[in-house]
Amino acid sequence: MRLKFWGVRGSIPTPGKHTVRYGGNTPCAELRLDDDELVILDAGTGIRNFGDHLINNGESVKAFLLITHPHWDHIQGFPFFKPAFISGNELTIVGTDREDKVLSAIIAEQMNRIYFPIQLQDLKARITFIPVKEEQEIPVYGATARIMFVNHPGFTVGYRLDYKGKSVVYISDNEPFDRAVAPSLSNFEDIVKQKFLASGDDPNQRVFDFCKDADLLIHDATYTPEEYIDRVGWGHSHYLFTLRVAAEANVKRLYLFHHDQNHSDDKVDDILKKCKKEVKSRGYRFECEAAIENSEIVI
Ligand SMILES: [Zn+2]
């Protein structure tokens, strides 16, 4: 498998001279299986450049688009994904329904006439939706995708793809679950809280298990531990927790992801340096890197 990052920034695009090296687009990654079968992880603003790249290559597009959750930074690029406008292309969009709204409506509504000039039904590509549930497994070409609720406001999921003995886990947004804090967080879903509370002594065990032995883990590392103190309940990890997930799960490679909107390139460099030092001093065996827009990984 091969993976390319097209957007690595969390929450909001951050153009400007201080974010040029890591990139300012919000989450999107291109995962290629053998024979180039295409899986797209999230449709943040990075998907616009990716779509243009596909068009420039003259590639007809047949793809699975796995959406972690419909917060803006994960769907905002979709209306600008040019392959969706082209007849003959096929997109299968995977994500969760809400109790009060199905996935297709969730995606369509960001293109409501009030917010956008073109509606979902005007797109020429054949678009189908697969609403998924916690712990469900779905075939994605020859791979298997597994789904798990993570600790983030709304019904947010992580994806694990297993393919020919290799595995990739994508958890873009996830906060350490704390039993003492969780009851006070009214914007987190009760169903998700119950799943974590039932997970064992450490409620985060379900995340560790989900990532078990992955060849590649892409995980939220939005904050420093110092910043996190004032951002409990915002739905994101500090890097020490991210490292812990990788260590507990015995992954081979970790990519820090969803860089904070306020972090300059130099700040991300500094975080990566601290993480590498931490990995060494704790005797962790995985490789740790920070996701960079336009960089590629062979898995
Ligand atoms: Zn996000």
* 3 state DSSP class of 297: strand
- Over its C-alpha atoms, the chain yields an Rg (Å, rounded) of 18
Identify which of 211, 204, 207 has the alpha carbon closest to the alpha carbon of residue 254: 211
Question: Which three-class secondary structure state does DSSP give residue 220?
Answer: strand
For 119, residues 6+ apart whose C-beta sits below 8 A from its C-beta are: 108, 111, 112, 113
Q: Are 116 and 65 in contact (CB under 8 A)?
A: no
Q: What is the pLDDT at residue 99?
A: 87
Q: How far is the CA of 220 from the centre of ligand 1 (A)?
A: 9
* C-alpha 58 – ligand 1 centre gap (Å): 31
Place of tokens 């003259």: 58
> What is the 93 CA–ligand 1 centroid distance (Å)?
18
> Is pLDDT of 59 > 90?
no
pLDDT at 278 over 90: yes
Judge whether residue 181 has pLDDT over 90: yes
Domain carrying residue 281? 2-298
- Is residue 256 pLDDT above 90, yes or no? yes
CATH number, residue 37: 3.60.15.10
- How many Å lie between the centroid of ligand 1 and the Cα of residue 73? 5
Are 13 and 59 in contact by the 8 Å Cβ rule? The answer is no
Quick one: average pLDDT of 211-224? Answer: 98
Length of the chain, please? Answer: 299
- The CA 134 to ligand 1 mean position distance, Å, reads 19
Residue 135: the pLDDT is 86
Q: Return the amino acid letter for 124.
A: K
- Which of 194, 273, 181 minimizes the C-alpha distance to 232? 181
Going from the Cα of 257 to the center of ligand 1, the distance in angstroms, rounded, reads 10
Q: How far is the CA of 76 from the centre of ligand 1 (A)?
A: 11
Residue 107 is predicted with a pLDDT of: 97
Ligand 1 centroid to residue 79 C-alpha, Å: 18
Asked if residue 200 has pLDDT above 90, the reply is: no
State the DSSP H helix or E strand holding residue 289, giving kind and residue range, or none if neither.
strand 287-290
**Structure tokens that stand for 1 in this block:** 């498998």
Q: Which residue, chain included where needed, has tokens 């000039």?
A: 117
CA 88 to ligand 1 center in whole angstroms:
31
Structure confidence at residue 12 as a pLDDT band (50, 70, 90): very high
In this structure, the strands spanning 38-41 and 143-149 are unpaired
pLDDT digits (tens, 9 = 90+) for 235-250: 999 999 999 999 999 9
Share of the chain above pLDDT 90, in %: 98
Q: How far is the CA of 47 from the centre of ligand 1 (A)?
A: 14
Does residue 216 contact residue 257 with C-beta atoms inside 8 Å? no
Which secondary structure element, helix H or strand E, spans residue 72, and what is its range? helix 72-75
Query: CA 121 to CA 295: how far, in whole Å?
Result: 33
Q: Is 10 helix (H, G, I), strand (E, B) or coil?
A: coil
Number of domains the chain is built from: 1
User: How many A from CA of 37 to the centre of ligand 1?
Assistant: 25
CA distances from 253 to 28, 181, 275 (A): 19, 30, 13
* Ligand 1 geometric centre to CA of 67 (Å): 11
Please give the pLDDT value at position 159: 98
pTM: 0.98
Percent of the chain past pLDDT 70, that is, above it, reads: 100
The three-point CA angle 116-122-128 to 5° equals 105
In 3-state terms, what secondary structure has residue 43? coil
**Cα of 87 to ligand 1 centre, how many Å?**
30
Question: Which residues neighbour 262 within 8 Å (Cβ) at sequence distance 6 or greater?
Answer: none
**CA–centroid distance, residue 83 to ligand 1 (Å):** 23
Rounded average pLDDT over 133-157: 96
- Pairing mode, strands 296-298 and 2-7: antiparallel
Bridge-based pairing state of the strands 253-257 and 287-290: parallel
Using DSSP's 3-state secondary structure scheme, residue 33 falls into: coil
What would the mean pLDDT of 270-293 be, rounded to a whole number?
A: 98
